[in-house]
Amino acid sequence: MTVPIISPLRIIVPKTENPLVEKFYDTLIIQTKPNVRLRDSVLTQKVETMKKRSIREKNMDTIKIVQGDITTAEVDAIVNAANSRMLGGGGVDGAIHRAAGPKLLDACKKIPSENGVRCPAGEARITEAGNLKAKYVIHAVGPRYGVDRPADRLLASAYQNSLDLAVSHGCRSIAFPAISCGVYGYPPKEAAHIAVSVGTLPEYKAMTKYFYLFSEEMAAIWTTALENHSII
């Protein structure tokens, strides 16, 4: 009986500045029969996966989880979990308005409204920050869980529109609360996954994103979401 010869297939390493891709090619030696070729599409898929993972890991470095009071955040922009009227409210909304003082409410009243609505669900508006240490307050309106649909897209949109406003106003750092996780009833684990997914998008890699959570339990949920996202 003839024993098939097993020989290594050497892979030519392309020029790249990505250390993960270089490491992949440096260690890739496939034991295979001489008449069996590894298809280019498989190699390409593996390389692209490693590139995406590298980008995601770098973007994760710009996300910080903080258990604390968002009104004390020393960032360029603080995101307020606002309601559509933008006239203050309870929870984070009320805390930010109290800390910022009457100037914030005056700035909100200057935002054009339609039937009392200054910012629909999924959108965001930016104003001055009053007495806060931040330059701006970005008012993001998340969905009311079970009422505003599709809730996941609206929540992602609220985060993304906030980041877009921050970028367009030259911000380098931003602090988020857990949008929609208070009286609006969004399940925290689902909300954390959406928040982290948006925060790691490549277009926001230059922005440092802080997530301020009011309890140890919420901080743990966001930390787990970030850790899980790193291994996807």
Q: What is the pLDDT of residues 149-165, one digit of tens each?
A: 999 999 999 999 999 99
Residue 164 annotated as catalytic: no
Q: Which of 76, 93, 148, 164 is catalytic?
A: 93
- Residue pair 65/230 in contact by the 8 Å Cβ criterion: no
What's the pLDDT score for residue 229? 85
**Cα separation of 148 and 151, whole Å?**
6
The model's pLDDT over 94-135, given as tens digits with 9 standing for 90+, comes to 999 999 999 999 999 999 999 999 999 999 999 999 999 999
Token pair, residue 156, equals: 């992602």
How high is the pLDDT of residue 18?
55
Stretches where the chain sits below pLDDT 70 are 1-59, 231-232
Read off the pTM: 0.76
By DSSP bridging, strand 63-67 and strand 208-213 are: parallel
